[in-house]
Structure 1
Amino acid sequence: MISVSQYQLGTWDLSELAKNPKSPAFQKQIKGLENQAKKFEKIKSKLDPKMSSKKFMDILNQVEEISEKMSKIGGYASLSYSSDTQSDEATSLMTRMSKLGSDISNKILFFDLWWKTQVDEKNAKRLIKDAGELSEYLAHKRLIAKYSLSEPEERIINTLDVTGISALVKLYDKITNAFEYQMKIGNKTKTMTREELTNYVRDTKPKIRETAYKTILGKYNENKGVVGEIYQNIALNWKDEGIDIRGYKTPISMRNIGNDVDDKTIEALLTVCKKNAPVFQKFFIQKAKMLKMKKLRRYDIYAPAAANIKEKNYSYNKSVKLVFESLGKFSNTLEDFARKVFNENHIDSSVRQGKRDGAFCSTLTPKITPYVLVNFTGKSRDVFTLAHELGHAVHSQAAQDRSILVQDAPLPLAETASTFSELLLYDNISDKISDDEKKIMLSEKIDDLYATILRQSFFTIFEIDAHKQIGEGTTIDEISKTYLQNLKLQFGKSVDVTDDFAIEWSCIPHFYHTPFYCYAYSFGNLLALSLFQRYKKEGQDFVPAYIDILAAGGSKKPEKLLQEHGLDIRSTKFWQEGFDYVSEQVKTLSSLN
């Protein structure tokens, strides 16, 4: 293990991906990739369902090679752009490489279509059986193909989507992104974007929080006719195409099958979330006390609970070492994976003009250590963000022996290691900090758990109801009534919910862009909490099982993978373990007040 005494803020080194995009060597990289894709096209005439398993695997290996080469070149362009979005050179390269990626994908697409639609069941089973770690990947492609139509029909749907559902989503974005919000701050009236205005919902002053929400909701209410009509048509399109034409069982089944999870698993997850709403209701009662309020209003749920306590700042060096230490207490293997990101200078951490906001982890190929971007300012939130993104990097490296086609975990499992790393960090530092610091950290943490678990699951419960209502014919006001009832069920008597929140559903872009996406947040976070509870019970005996789960990447269906480790995600009992952890944290916060 290499030890660095001081970690300093800085930028990453991308030379492993490409030395210089203007150099002949880079052009040679592109040319080589294009030639390989052209050569691959010649396979088309030789495709035969009766081909030997060896020949079939040779073709898949070529797909892997092309994917890895494209990922390196495309990754260099997107990471360069993220580190300086104002650079004309980086922007131009990004555009060129996106075009190249699209061209390469189109050249190799025929093999994917052939596998999904031209291979008979008997030969498909034979080829899947001999495909090793790619078996589940190939089987899932065939499962999705069951809902595919003929090529001419698919072409018609793709063509009509451009002026249909895709156009509706663009229209929603165009209308809502053009909204200008005017809000009085002190004696001045400021014109703001929604992004700027959203900062005020976390303000320390109750009146400002209320005004910020009313300003946002008021704008959507003024435009409810048009944004509501767009939503109704998106939901009807989802039903007409998904259920009536393709033959999915329910609207949410389309998303579940895409995520490679069973309907029963998601039903169990949502049932447990609904049942455990009182866990967070207790937290909101606690938070009201911390804010010296009789009762929270819906305007107050994201208020900083410890505005009167000075927040501690963390140096970057200390933060990095804290994350290493937290991972190392659990497993040296995970700590080594995290250190690799720093040892190879694959992290961009400094805050600077032109750099992309937020944080992410980018895994390009199994052979290359992931790249991590954070904007570190020294707040405790930044330390947790660092742990979160390094968790993603750890997950990728645990699965580094997998094919590029199955290294990434499916969407519901994608937040497992990131959330688990945050839990390890909190567990490590909670006994090293003062009660006041712990109060801030714990309150922020439960805020986040509410936003990523309960809120997201209730969003999904609303979508199920709304899609059903819209399918039967309904009005925008009735959809709003359903949403308001959903909020009241979620908060119970712990929070006052006013009628202006009835329109909030129309402010949630996920409902428009990607119906039923939101439960993936609840799934990922609750899964990590349940695994953490297992760790607290079993100690070091749990470590090999956890690393095995990460190492599977996307090579196994989530139910099957977790069942192998004695975890039944189809049962409500499993999901309850995650809520037991939240309940413990709420009790701890109560004892600090």
Structure 2
Amino acid sequence: MPDTATASGEIPTDENGLPLWNLDDLYPGVDSDALARDFEALEKDAGRFAEAHAGKLAELDGNALAGAVAEYERIEEIMGRIGSYAGLMHAGDVSDPEVGRFYQNTIERLNAISSTLLFFQLEINRIDEEDLEAKLAESPALAHYRPWIRDSRAMRGYELDDEMEKLLLEKAVAGRGAWTRLFDQTLAGLRFPYRGEMLTNTDILHLMSDPDGSVRRDAARSLGETLGENIQLFSLITNTLAKDKEVEDRWRGFARPVSSRNLANFVEDEVVDALVQSVREAYPRISHRYYKLKARWMGAETLDYWDRLAPPPQDDDRTIEWDQARETVLSAYGRFDPAMADLGKRFFDNGWIDAPPRPGKAGGAFAHPTVPSAHPYLLLNFKGKARDVMTLAHELGHGVHQVLAGKQGQLMADTPLTLAETASVFGEMLTFQSMLAGTEDPKRRRALLANKIEDMINTVVRQIAFFEFERRIHDARRDGELTADRIGEIWMECSRESLGDTFRFGAEYANFWAYIPHFIHSPFYVYAYAFGDCLVNSLYALYEGGHPDFQKKYLTMLEAGGTLRHKDLLAPFGLDASDPAFWNQGLGVIERFIDELEATF
């Protein structure tokens, strides 16, 4: 477990000078008095809250109900602080058994408290609509919480009786939560043989974009073969969680596996269907076309699958130091709006980022909002490549968004997944355009443009291919358990469809689905990336075109958090996600980048 405490107040770093996060702003330690006190108070407060309000909410007038919601929010925020601390500790080292024990025990205790409080939202959802509107009208304090009440009541019609809901909640830690933890620990514990070394998941994936084709080949085969040696376990996890979801969806009355995710995102099924259809129809114009161009660039007609992430020829493969990455991103943010750069700077100055890769650390990257009374934290696995700079820009965008939305409070700060990627992808676009404008060398400019196109393909095309893979898996699972071979076949079908006929696939590639955590952690999360990228492309076009008061409207949109739905958020910009032309407009930006790249040959 990294040492995040410093006597001097300086930002803790690893031996290479990369920052480690300091979690003291949440709690000073797993055995701290502050954490123990909060837990003890939580359990008492939740019990008193239930005793005071269970079965009585419908009888309260507007102001009394507002007071109950405010107290519920206070309790939820403390729960969120504790849960965030445990989750971040675990992400820092998912292989440490003591950290794992602390994390699991914390989640179980929080789950028990949540069970005590479960009645609250269920009873709010049962209040008659006319009666609720009368309470909202008489109480400005309650009207403040109208967006949260609206979103809570979106589940009306899909909720079960109170005892069933309580059972599902309490069993989650021994069901979905336990299987998810098993996946995380298994993946973090795997070591991939590579030329006499045993590498972590993060390290072997990093080699997949190495300039040397033999390095990419050996890394890719090691990844696929090692996953294959464990594929029965990954298949069992996938089958179990898909069945678990199917059972709950059936009991709740969701007609399609994706419908519960769409409801949670407050986006209509038909909007998501239009997005998916638009992207799939664009495969030939975007990914198929680009990869044919890349193959020609590399002097071949076809490529091996491990060449998909090969850096473009003449790519600038310099190692980018952390300070340079920081300056690049903050400068790009500052040129857009100084206030956004000031917010971003706080992450670097206050120990809110954990940057270095290390054994046991969770792979990939994320921004965790924690709670409004604290601040977000960023997890990276920074190796000094251009893609790592873009990842920093992406996660910092999330962090800035989360800080701005925090003013909405614990119950209304969270943004639906469809909009949660807006600030992150916009931050990437700002950084890319800044880097492109500062690059005069034609070869480096071409490589930078190609890297951006590949990132956009990964964000839009690949994520919709992932979505399609999930859809087919969940649909097929309803007819019975899937073998590892069948899951691999579905993976290959979706890969060939999305990537085109440029690539040759080895047998081991059929196992690559197994390391993708989104399938396990958040079913159907992935389409939010494509939603966010297309949305940002449309927004950025408006910004470049001089849309009136764009910066002010943009920051106001981020500040709204979860208080507004996508139609209301986009209305000031004249955008409408329900219009199919909206998606084609966003996809057209990628096509124009490919046009620009093709013109350089």
Structure 1 counterpart of 2:297, one-letter code: M
SS at match of 1:292: coil
Among candidates 62, 77, 84, match of residue 53 of structure 1 = 62
Equivalence map 1:127-166=2 (5 Å): 127=135, 131-154=142-165
Moved more, 386-395 or 433-442: 433-442
Structure 2 CA distance, aligned partners of 1:119 and 1:420?
Answer: 40
Could you say which residue in structure 2 is the equivalent of 1:453?
Answer: 460
1:16-48 per-position Cα deviation (integer Å, ceiling 9, x unaligned): 445677676665555554544343233235723
Structure 1 CA distance, aligned partners of 2:95 and 2:583?
Answer: 44
Structure 2 counterpart of 1:454, one-letter code: V
Could you say which residue in structure 1 is the equivalent of 2:334?
Answer: 328
CA deviation after TM superposition for structure 1 residue 88, in Å:
9.4
CA deviation after TM superposition for structure 1 residue 314, in Å:
3.5
Could you say which residue in structure 2 is the equivalent of 1:430?
Answer: 436
Structure 1 counterpart of 2:347, one-letter code: V
CA deviation after TM superposition for structure 1 residue 62, in Å:
0.9
Contact 1:340 1:369 in 2 (8 A): no
Structure 1 counterpart of 2:71, one-letter code: Q
Could you say which residue in structure 1 is the equivalent of 2:289?
Answer: 282
1:349-374 per-position Cα deviation (integer Å, ceiling 9, x unaligned): 56778876654433233243433344
Let me know the Cα RMSD of the aligned residues: 4.1
Structure 1 CA distance, aligned partners of 2:175 and 2:549?
Answer: 53
Shift of the 473–451 alpha-carbon distance from structure 1 to 2, 3 Å rule, reads same
CA deviation after TM superposition for structure 1 residue 328, in Å:
1.8
Structure 2 CA distance, aligned partners of 1:241 and 1:20?
Answer: 37
Structure 2 CA distance, aligned partners of 1:274 and 1:36?
Answer: 51
Shift of the 362–518 alpha-carbon distance from structure 1 to 2, 3 Å rule, reads closer
Shift of the 573–132 alpha-carbon distance from structure 1 to 2, 3 Å rule, reads farther
1:416-443 per-position Cα deviation (integer Å, ceiling 9, x unaligned): 1111111101111212123333344333
Moved more, 295-304 or 337-346: 337-346
Moved more, 28-37 or 83-92: 83-92
Structure 1 CA distance, aligned partners of 2:549 and 2:257?
Answer: 41
Structure 2 counterpart of 1:55, one-letter code: A
Structure 2 CA distance, aligned partners of 1:514 and 1:49?
Answer: 34
Contact 1:459 1:518 in 2 (8 A): yes
Could you say which residue in structure 1 is the equivalent of 2:552?
Answer: 544
Structure 1 counterpart of 2:301, one-letter code: K
Structure 1 counterpart of 2:279, one-letter code: C
Contact 1:261 1:559 in 2 (8 A): no
Structure 2 CA distance, aligned partners of 1:17 and 1:552?
Answer: 24
1:176-225 per-position Cα deviation (integer Å, ceiling 9, x unaligned): 88888667x4xx6x676766554454344445545554555567778878
| 1:534 matches 2:542 | yes
**Matched length:** 580
Moved more, 552-561 or 402-411: 552-561
CA deviation after TM superposition for structure 1 residue 402, in Å:
0.5
Contact 1:327 1:334 in 2 (8 A): yes
TM-score (norm 1): 0.82
Structure 2 counterpart of 1:139, one-letter code: R
Identity %: 28
| 1:365 matches 2:371 | yes
1:391-416 per-position Cα deviation (integer Å, ceiling 9, x unaligned): 11211222232121111211221121
Equivalence map 1:75-114=2 (5 Å): 75-76=84-85, 79=88, 97-98=106-107, 100-114=109-123
CA deviation after TM superposition for structure 1 residue 322, in Å:
2.7
| 1:583 matches 2:591 | yes
Shift of the 36–486 alpha-carbon distance from structure 1 to 2, 3 Å rule, reads closer
Structure 2 CA distance, aligned partners of 1:81 and 1:225?
Answer: 25
SS at match of 1:248: coil
Contact 1:202 1:302 in 2 (8 A): yes
